[in-house]
Copies of this chain bind each other. A is one copy, B any other.
Amino acid sequence: MIDTSSAETGTQLPLYKEVKRLLTMSLAEGEWQPGVALPSETRLGERFRVSIGTVRKAIDELVAERILVRHQGRGTYVASHNARRTLFHFFHIVPASGGKEPPQTELLSFERAKAGANDAARLNIAPGAPVFRIRNLLRLADRPVVLDEITLPVERFRGLSEKMFRERDSTIYQLYQERYSINVVRSAERLSATLADRPSAKLLQVAAGTPLLRINRTALTYHNVPVELRTSLVNTADHEYFSDLGKN
């Protein structure tokens, strides 16, 4: 049995919450890599000295948070960033009529810069700390629709190169995962409306002054640690941002 009492606070954590915490810590430390199976529930129960029901309750919550995936008969897996998952959970732009489709990405620029006060605060790094700034143009049905600007702390992404971005044959979050063992598990987004400036307008092939949707995203890994900022400008003439809170 695990000790769930805290001498400092006197608080009593439920056992399954403690198990969940331990599982999340092991995940954050990379004990189990994305795409591979965890030990069986029976074994995890033995490891943590709890019943299988308690393990299941902990896993239930991690599955609800899309950190783990269960497959009956096979095992429980660390959620992996394949194209399908990224499209489904992290790409919210849909055609005004018709189904969702994966975007084609074109790398526009890759630079080093210093974090401004705002970005630094959101990334929880020091103001002026070095960051990578990557700009991408996303096409849907061969038409430019989204202009992305990604900000990454150099500290977490040492050695990241333009080549890696240009030559990747996977999604960006897959790149983070494979090269840096950084697993994006959640994102928070703030949306506003703005007008296209000249350079953006040209890239999106619209008139300057066209209304655009601006999305400010913070991507988070385990324990809600921010790892990436992304600002997207979206031409919503033929596409929309889909938000379905409550389901999914």
Chain A residues with a Cβ under 8 A of chain B: 64-66, 89, 92, 94, 96, 185-195, 209, 211-214, 216, 234, 236, 239-248
Chosen A-B contacts, 19 in total, with CB atoms closer than 8 Å, are A65-B246, A89-B245, A89-B246, A94-B190, A188-B244, A189-B243, A190-B241, A191-B191, A192-B236, A192-B239, A192-B240, A193-B211, A193-B213, A193-B234, A194-B211, A194-B236, A209-B209, A211-B212, A243-B245
Bound-complex Cα distance A194 to B96 (A): 14
Bound-complex Cα distance A209 to B234 (A): 18
Contacts of A236 in B (CB 8 A): 191-194
Q: How far is the CB of A80 from chain B (nearest CB, A)?
A: 16
Q: How far is the CB of A93 from chain B (nearest CB, A)?
A: 10
Query: CB < 8 Å: which of B191, B239, B247 contacts A241?
Result: B191
**Chain A's interface: helix, strand, loop or mixed, by majority?**
strand
Q: How far is the CB of A236 from chain B (nearest CB, A)?
A: 4
Q: How far is the CB of A234 from chain B (nearest CB, A)?
A: 7
Contacts of A193 in B (CB 8 A): 193-194, 211-214, 234, 236
Query: CB < 8 Å: which of B191, B195, B211 contacts A240?
Result: B191
Residue of B nearest to A213 (CB): B193
Contacts of A241 in B (CB 8 A): 190-192
Contacts of A192 in B (CB 8 A): 96, 213, 236, 239-241
Known contacts A189-B243, A211-B211; 9 additional CB pairs below 8 A are A92-B245, A94-B190, A188-B242, A191-B236, A191-B240, A192-B213, A193-B236, A211-B212, A216-B240
Contacts of A247 in B (CB 8 A): 65, 186, 188
Residue of B nearest to A237 (CB): B192
Contacts of A246 in B (CB 8 A): 65-66, 89, 185-187
Contacts of A96 in B (CB 8 A): 192
Contacts of A240 in B (CB 8 A): 190-192, 216
